[in-house]
Amino acid sequence: MKKLKQVRPEDFDVKALLAAAREGRLYVDESKKEVSRDILINEIRAYVGRIQTLVTKDFSSSIDELWEQILSTDDFVEFLTPSNKARKCKVFNKYGVMRIIGVLREKGVYEYYNDSKYNALLEQTDKDTPYRKYLGMGFEQRHLLLEIREIVAQYQL
């Protein structure tokens, strides 16, 4: 494969690009593809839906609304969007979701079971995964912790 060179916008040749694609000479770096916000949110909903059985009675009727509000907050969507360097989490940042679930568990949204039970349900495996230890870590950014506390407070009886 030839060495890649940078192309300035004024030198960009659309016809040559289309010809390369038709001939099978066009390659795309898959690691740089971006995930749409809708796909990210739907994947997170499906992921946290796996622990629906662990929601406490106080939040059982409002858990979907609570997650909807979390996922409609730009700070959390940015927090859960995988970086370009993410090797394991391609669609969403599982480490971030685990942090949120850990805080929600501390706030009484989810039953307090051990981390292994959450990991088994979320990852659908009995094996230990690297995501499990993030359940008890909380947030490094204080503003995210304050935002999640506000969201949970709205749904507390």
What b/e readout covers 37-55, taking b as 16+ CB neighbours within 10 angstroms? eeebbebbeebbeebeebb
* pLDDT tens-digit readout, 65-81: 999 999 999 999 999 98
1 contacts: CB under 8 Å, gap ≥ 6? 27
- Return the structure tokens found at 150: 């506000």
* pLDDT tens-digit readout, 84-104: 665 565 788 899 999 999 999
Please state the pTM of the whole predicted model: 0.75
